[in-house]
C-alpha cells in the first residue's frame, strides 16, 4: 500500500492541476475506472500512465455510466487456419451521398471512405476513448482555452513527403469553413491554428473547451490530415483523383457509386501492423441490397446495419454481430416560434403521448437506449442519469392541451425523409398524437427535399437524423443553442445557452455532469424536441473474419483484419 501511494505521489508532483483534479475525482470514488481512463485520454494523459494510476489509486467506491459498452454475439464456429495467399477483405457500405471531399463529406459512407487513406490526430474509438494517431500527445493550459499537440515524427504522406505541423495547420484551416463548422462552432476560428515548430501545433480557442481533442479527432471526420501542398491546389473533385493521406491504404481504383479498392501502403508509419494485401469497399444504394449481398457472400462484413433491414443477420449461423452502445438518434423538432408550439404545454403534451419502451422493442428489438427528450445520451460519461425519465401519460397530455386552450386538439404537419426507420417513427408519432385529438399530417420526402425545404424553416415539426459523436457538443451547441446553425426548433433560452457554455468549457467530469443536469432539465421542461431513443451501432462480420475495428461514427478500420 505504501509503495502504491509513493508511486501516485511521484506522478502527482509532475502532473498539471487539471490532471491532479482528475486523479482526485477517481481516488474519491466519484468516477469509475473506465471514466477515469477515458477522461485521461482526452486531457492528454498517456495509456501507460493511466494504467499505473488506475491500479494504484484503488478507490473504494466508483460510479459507472455504462458508457461505451460493447457486446458481441456469435453464432457458429470459427476456423483458426489462415487463408493461404494474398488476402482481400471486402466491406459493404451504403453508397456515399456525394463526392468524397474532406470539406463537404457529411454522411457515413463518405466518412468511412475518407478514413481509409486519410488519418486524424487521434482516433475516437468504440469506448469513446481517444487514441493517439498522428499526434503522439496533447495537453491543455489551465482553463482549456489553449491546447498543444505534439506530432508523431517520421510519418510519410503517400506522395513521399513527411507530415509536419504546417500540414496540420493547412488541413484544419482547409475544413473549418465546410461541414466541420458545426464541430468548431464557438470553439476554433480561422487563423487560430499555428505551427510552433515542425512537430508542434497550438490551437488558441475562442473560449475554454474541455473536450477539444475530440474536435480534431476522427470524431470530426472532416478533419483528416492532408499535405499542405495539396490544400494549396484544392478544388472540387481533386481529392477523388488520388485519395492522398498518411493511412495504411493506397488507392487502387475508385468508381463512384460502385466501389473503392486499396492496396497496402508499404511506407505506412505503423510498422508493427499486419496489414491485409488488399481491401475493397462495395457501395450499395439501399441497405436491404447490402444485406442481401452479404448473405450471398459478396462481402465479408457490413460496417453498419439496422435492425429494420438486418433481421436475418441477427440469427445467421455464420455471422458475428457486434453491438456498440452509442449516441445516434432522431430528433422530432417542435418549432417554438410557430403556433401552437409557442406554448410549452403543447410541446410537453406531444412528448407525453409516446410509449418509448414499446418503440424500442418494436423498432430496435431492444437494441437502443431510452431517450428523454434531450441529446445527452446515456453512453456519455458526462451525462447526468438522475433526471427522471419522461413516460407516456395520455391523460396528462390531454389536460395540458386543455390548459393551453386546445381541448379539441389541432392539426399540424410533420415532415421527414424516407430513410431508415424514420417513416415508421413518423407514423408512430401520428398515431400517438391522435389519442389526444391532434391530427398529424405526414409529409415524407426524399432527403434532399427535406433538408432543403423543410428542416430549418419549412415545417413546424420535422424528424432529423443525427449520427454518433464522442461528446455531445454538436448536439447541444450547434443544434439547440439560440444562434446555432442547426436549431430547427428555433429554441431560444438564455438559461440553456449559459448551461451549454458551462458544459462545453468544463475540464472535469464533476463540472460537466453538473452542467449536463441543468441542460437536461431545461430541455425536458421546455421540450423543443422529442427524442425517444438512442440506437446501437450494429456490425455484421463473417465468423472467419477477425482483427477489424469499427466506431459508432461509422469508421471502419481493416488494418489488422485477417481471414481464416
Q: Per the structure block, which three cell numbers stand in for 482?
A: 439560440
103 within domain boundaries: no
- The band of 80, judged by pLDDT with boundaries at 50, 70 and 90, is low
Give the domain-ending residue among 196, 226, 256.
226
Q: Per-residue pLDDT averaged across 262-286, rounded?
A: 94
CATH classification at residue 497: 3.10.105.10
More confident residue, 63 or 1: 1
Q: List pLDDT tens digits, range 277-326.
A: 999 999 999 999 999 999 999 999 999 999 989 999 999 999 999 999 99
109 within domain boundaries: no
- The band of 274, judged by pLDDT with boundaries at 50, 70 and 90, is confident
Same structural domain for residues 15 and 133?
no
Q: What is the pLDDT of residue 36?
A: 84
Same structural domain for residues 31 and 145?
no
Q: What is the pLDDT of residue 1?
A: 62
Same structural domain for residues 338 and 444?
yes
Q: Per the structure block, which three cell numbers stand in for 29?
A: 470514488
Distances (CA, A) of 470 to 58, 123, 327, 447, 553: 27, 10, 8, 25, 8
Q: What is the pLDDT of residue 69?
A: 43
Q: What is the pLDDT of residue 412?
A: 98
More confident residue, 71 or 193: 193
108 within domain boundaries: no
Sequence-distant (6+) residues with CB within 8 A of 13 are none
Place of cell 467506491: 61
- The band of 25, judged by pLDDT with boundaries at 50, 70 and 90, is confident
If you ran DSSP here, which 8-state letter would residue 6 be given? Answer: H
Sequence-distant (6+) residues with CB within 8 A of 29 are 59, 60, 61, 62, 63
Q: How far apart are the first and last CA of the chain?
A: 46
96 within domain boundaries: no
Helix 17-27 / helix 509-526 crossing angle, nearest 10 deg: 80
Q: What is the pLDDT of residue 52?
A: 64
Q: Per-residue pLDDT averaged across 58-79, rounded?
A: 46
Q: What is the pLDDT of residue 64?
A: 40
- The band of 44, judged by pLDDT with boundaries at 50, 70 and 90, is confident
Mean pLDDT of the chain: 92
Q: Per-residue pLDDT averaged across 468-492, rounded?
A: 97
> Is the pLDDT confidence value at 59 over 60?
no
Same structural domain for residues 165 and 255?
no
Same structural domain for residues 455 and 524?
yes
Q: What is the pLDDT of residue 79?
A: 45
Same structural domain for residues 531 and 423?
yes
Q: What is the pTM of this model?
A: 0.91
Same structural domain for residues 496 and 354?
yes
Same structural domain for residues 472 and 524?
yes
Q: List pLDDT tens digits, range 384-412.
A: 999 999 999 999 999 999 999 999 999 99
> Is the pLDDT confidence value at 22 over 90?
no
232 within domain boundaries: no
Q: What is the pLDDT of residue 241?
A: 93
CATH classification at residue 201: 3.90.76.10
Share above pLDDT 90 across residues of the chain, in percent, rounded to a whole number: 83
> Is the pLDDT confidence value at 62 over 50?
no
CA dihedral over 259, 263, 267, 273, signed as positive or negative: positive
- 28: domain range? 2-57
Amino acid at each position: 500500500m505504501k509503495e502504491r501511494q509513493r508511486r501516485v505521489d511521484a506522478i502527482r508532483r509532475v502532473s498539471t492541476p487539471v490532471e491532479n483534479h482528475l486523479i482526485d475525482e477517481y481516488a474519491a470514488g466519484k468516477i469509475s475506472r473506465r471514466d477515469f481512463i477515458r477522461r485521461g485520454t482526452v486531457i492528454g494523459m498517456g495509456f501507460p500512465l493511466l494504467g499505473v494510476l488506475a491500479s494504484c489509486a484503488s478507490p473504494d467506491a466508483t460510479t459507472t455510466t455504462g458508457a461505451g459498452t460493447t457486446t458481441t454475439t456469435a453464432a457458429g464456429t470459427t476456423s483458426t487456419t489462415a487463408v493461404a495467399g494474398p488476402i482481400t477483405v471486402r466491406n459493404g457500405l451504403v453508397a456515399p451521398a456525394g463526392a468524397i471531399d474532406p470539406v463537404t463529406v457529411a454522411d457515413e459512407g463518405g466518412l468511412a471512405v475518407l478514413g481509409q487513406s486519410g488519418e486524424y490526430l487521434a482516433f475516437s474509438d468504440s469506448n469513446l476513448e481517444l487514441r493517439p494517431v498522428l499526434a503522439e500527445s496533447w495537453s491543455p493550459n489551465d482553463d482549456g482555452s489553449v491546447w498543444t499537440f505534439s506530432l508523431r515524427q517520421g510519418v510519410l504522406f503517400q506522395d513521399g513527403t513527411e507530415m509536419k505541423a504546417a500540414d496540420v495547420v493547412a488541413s484544419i484551416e482547409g475544413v473549418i469553413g465546410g461541414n466541420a463548422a458545426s464541430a468548431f462552432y464557438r470553439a476554433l476560428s480561422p487563423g487560430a491554428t499555428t505551427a510552433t515548430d515542425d512537430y508542434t501545433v497550438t490551437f488558441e480557442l475562442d473560449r475554454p473547451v474541455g473536450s477539444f481533442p475530440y474536435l480534431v479527432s476522427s470524431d470530426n471526420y472532416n478533419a483528416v490530415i492532408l499535405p499542405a501542398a495539396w490544400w494549396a491546389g484544392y478544388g472540387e473533385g481533386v481529392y477523388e483523383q488520388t485519395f492522398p493521406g498518411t493511412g495504411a491504404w493506397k488507392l487502387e481504383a475508385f468508381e463512384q457509386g460502385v466501389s473503392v479498392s486499396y492496396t497496402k501502403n508499404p511506407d505506412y508509419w505503423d510498422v508493427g501492423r499486419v496489414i491485409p494485401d488488399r481491401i475493397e469497399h462495395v457501395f450499395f444504394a439501399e441497405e436491404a441490397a447490402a444485406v442481401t449481398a452479404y448473405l450471398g457472400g459478396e462481402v465479408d462484413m457490413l460496417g453498419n446495419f439496422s435492425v429494420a433491414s438486418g433481421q436475418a443477420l441477427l440469427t445467421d449461423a455464420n455471422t458475428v454481430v457486434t453491438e456498440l452502445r452509442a449516441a445516434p438518434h432522431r430528433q422530432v423538432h417542435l418549432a417554438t416560434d410557430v403556433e401552437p408550439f409557442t406554448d410549452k404545454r403543447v410541446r410537453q403534451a406531444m412528448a407525453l403521448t409516446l410509449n418509448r419502451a414499446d418503440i424500442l422493442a418494436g423498432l430496435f428489438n431492444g437494441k437502443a437506449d431510452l431517450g428523454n427528450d434531450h441529446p445527452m445520451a446515456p453512453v456519455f460519461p458526462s451525462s447526468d442519469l438522475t433526471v427522471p425519465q419522461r413516460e407516456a401519460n395520455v391523460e396528462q397530455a390531454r389536460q395540458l392541451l386543455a390548459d393551453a386552450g386546445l381541448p379539441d386538439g389541432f392539426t399540424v404537419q410533420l415532415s421527414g425523409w424516407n430513410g431508415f426507420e424514420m417513416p415508421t417513427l413518423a407514423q408512430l408519432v401520428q398515431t400517438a398524437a391522435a389519442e389526444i385529438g391532434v391530427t398529424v399530417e405526414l409529409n415524407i420526402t426524399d432527403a434532399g427535399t427535406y433538408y432543403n425545404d423543410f428542416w430549418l424553416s419549412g415545417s413546424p415539426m420535422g424528424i432529423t437524423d443525427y449520427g454518433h459523436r464522442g461528446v455531445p457538443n454538436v448536439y447541444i451547441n450547434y443544434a439547440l443553442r439560440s444562434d446555432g446553425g442547426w436549431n430547427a426548433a428555433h429554441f431560444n433560452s438564455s438559461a440553456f445557452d449559459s448551461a451549454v457554455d458551462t458544459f462545453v468549457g468544463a475540464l472535469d467530469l464533476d463540472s460537466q455532469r453538473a452542467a449536463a443536469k441543468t441542460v437536461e432539465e431545461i430541455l425536458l421542461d421546455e421540450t423543443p424536441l422529442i427524442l425517444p431513443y438512442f440506437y446501437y451501432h450494429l456490425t455484421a462480420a463473417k465468423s472467419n473474419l477477425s482483427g477489424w475495428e469499427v466506431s459508432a461514427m461509422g469508421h471502419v478500420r481493416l488494418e489488422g483484419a485477417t481471414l481464416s
